Structure 1
Amino acid sequence: MIKKSIDVKELLELSGEKVFLKKLGKEYEDDYWKAFNEGDIESTIFTGTQQVFNKTNVESYLQNISLDSTRIDFIIFSKSTKKIVGEVVINDIYRNNRSSNLRICIFKKGDFNKGYGTEALILALHYGFGMLNLHRIELEALNFNERAVEVYKKVGFKKEGIKREGWYFNHRYYDLVTMSFLEDEFREKYIDSQYNLKNLL
């Protein structure tokens, strides 16, 4: 009997039907800056960005995250265009608690509602629970960003509560919705109970 050969890199690739994820590094510096810089104001507001960035900031940012063991930064590529459409980040990784935070941003309004964010979230969660062995992944969303909250619910996040006046922007405080996903909940929703690595060998 001839066994199917396995390309481990292919096995671990974060690839879906609409998007694929690549770990953010200096090799993507120019493309990342271009995509980020051309992003729309909606993305800036919805993700709670409070800083103004320039290319020098981005270069320093890439250097810093390459040395930070508490985070994994992925850039999101559209499969159809091969262009960067956003980023998804697993950060604040606490190994003892097996927990982390997650954030996602689709840079341009024209790329909203195409399923890019939903698929990127699921791929990142697969990595967090399946490769990093996390138990809990949480996120926060601005309470007026109803579209994002509904996407998170659809993916499987559960609402835990409201962080009252947890975010400040332009003379006002806004509430944050806190949500989380646990490993057992994720596996029940997305992982076939018969899945076994041996079946691939």
Structure 2
Amino acid sequence: MICCGDEIVGEIVLNDIEETRGHYRICIYNKENFSKGIGYKATIKLLEFAFEVLGLEFVDLEVFPFNDRGIGLYQKIGFEIMKRMIDEDAEEPYRDIIEMRLFKDNFKN
């Protein structure tokens, strides 16, 4: 959970953890909480934990191409685009997916 004061404003998850990798996702529930640095701060904390405590070498994520704000945040932190995929079972605009990866050595905190 991501909290601001007593309010739950989103969630952040590190899952599918294997020896040297993990998968990250985040959701800020309401647009009124966008562009306040909430996602950035939560992401930095999660990645510090992933790299410093768990000793992971890289973290992956998936993002929709229309999520410019998210992609910008991820690139600011050091994530790189690895590939683009199409989910044949999904409906537009959720068919196109970008996979990004952050290597520990590229983490900009």
Q: Does 1:84 align with 2:5?
A: no
Could you tell me which runs of 5 or more consecutive residues in structure 2 were left unpaired when the two chains were aligned: none
Secondary structure, counterpart of 1:147 in structure 2: helix
For the aligned residue pairs, the C-alpha RMSD in angstroms reads 1.8
Q: Distance in 2 between matches of 1:104 and 1:134?
A: 18
TM (norm. structure 2) is: 0.89
Aligned residues: 109
| Structure 2 residue aligned with 1:137 | 59
Q: Which has the higher contact order (CA 8 A, sep 6+)?
A: 2
Could you tell me which runs of 5 or more consecutive residues in structure 1 were left unpaired when the two chains were aligned: 1-74, 191-201
Change (3 A) 1:151 1:92: same
- Which ranges of 4 or more aligned residues in structure 1 deviate by more than 4 Å? none
Q: Distance in 2 between matches of 1:178 and 1:166?
A: 16
Name the amino acid aligned to 1:136. F
Q: Which has the higher helix share?
A: 1
Aligned pairs (5 A) from 1:141-160: 141-160=63-82
Q: Shift in Å at residue 82 of structure 1? A: 3.2
Q: Shift in Å at residue 165 of structure 1? A: 3.3
CA contact (8 A) 2:64 2:97 kept: yes
Q: Does 1:174 align with 2:100?
A: no
Secondary structure, counterpart of 1:119 in structure 2: helix
Q: Shift in Å at residue 167 of structure 1? A: 6.4
TM (norm. structure 1) is: 0.50
Secondary structure, counterpart of 1:86 in structure 2: strand
Larger-gyration structure (1/2): 1
Q: Which has the higher strand share?
A: 2
Equivalent residue in structure 1 for 2:105, among 157, 176, 184: 184
Aligned pairs (5 A) from 1:52-131: 75-78=1-4, 81-95=5-19, 98-131=20-53
Q: Shift in Å at residue 87 of structure 1? A: 0.9
Tell me the percent identity. 36
Q: Shift in Å at residue 90 of structure 1? A: 0.3
Q: Deviations over 1:36-72 (max 9, x none)?
A: xxxxxxxxxxxxxxxxxxxxxxxxxxxxxxxxxxxxx
Name the amino acid aligned to 1:180. R
Q: Distance in 1 between matches of 2:88 and 2:23?
A: 16
Change (3 A) 1:167 1:133: farther
Q: Distance in 1 between matches of 2:10 and 2:64?
A: 18
